[in-house]
Amino acid sequence: MLDELERTLFDEERIRTRIADMGRQIARDYREDKLLLIGVLKGAFIFLADLVRAISIPVGIDFVGVSSYGTHTKSTGVVRIVKDLDAPIAGNNVLVVEDIVDTGLTLSYLATLFRERGPKSLRICTFLDKPERREIPLAVDYVGFTIPNEFVVGYGLDYNGRYRNLPIVATLKPSVYSKS
């Protein structure tokens, strides 16, 4: 798997340090209030697992499963909910946790859907952000790292279902794309 990588963007140490900062900031921002984290499956499972352990206040956790139509490198904005939340979110301070914001279509769809359910507040937290690719305006409240317009894998992010278990964030060699 490692010989298919082109360039490391963030190694384990860099990721750990950044997430510790994010966790501290989130704990500070919500210290007076209850917080419900909603992880967007599948990509956010690793980020959410590390982020919650960096947050020192009590939190609730739920997951939403989405599958976006389109190819692996281009999302169409048509989002299908494959697993809805387990519980109502009305009256909760909701923080939606995503792996990466690319066009913004997925999160913009989810934010609209969740706002209709009457949360007390709703914010967005993403591990990675690719602002150059945005097709729809989206206010992102917490960003781990801003990256250029490059397809990346690892730390939950996949290419055709692979590389999610890579502990770093990296780009792939062009030969990997031509194989599939």
Residues designated as active site: 102
No. of H helices and E strands in the chain?
Answer: 4, 9
**Looking at the DSSP assignment, which residues form a beta bridge with residue 100?**
128
What would the x/- binding string for ligand IMP be over residues 115 to 154, using CB under 6 A?
A: ------------------------------------xxx-
Q: Which is nearer to ligand IMP, 30 or 142 (CB)?
A: 142
Judged by CB under 6 A, the residue of 36, 106, 123, 127 near ligand IMP is 106
Measured between alpha carbons, how far is 40 from 99 in angstroms, rounded to an integer? Answer: 8
Q: Give the footprint of ligand IMP on residues 32-51 (CB under 6 A).
A: 43
Judged by CB under 6 A, the residue of 5, 36, 95, 105 near ligand IMP is 105
Asked if 116 contacts 89 with a C-beta cutoff of 8 angstroms, the reply is no
Measured between alpha carbons, how far is 62 from 96 in angstroms, rounded to an integer? Answer: 10
CB of 9 to ligand IMP, least distance (A): 10
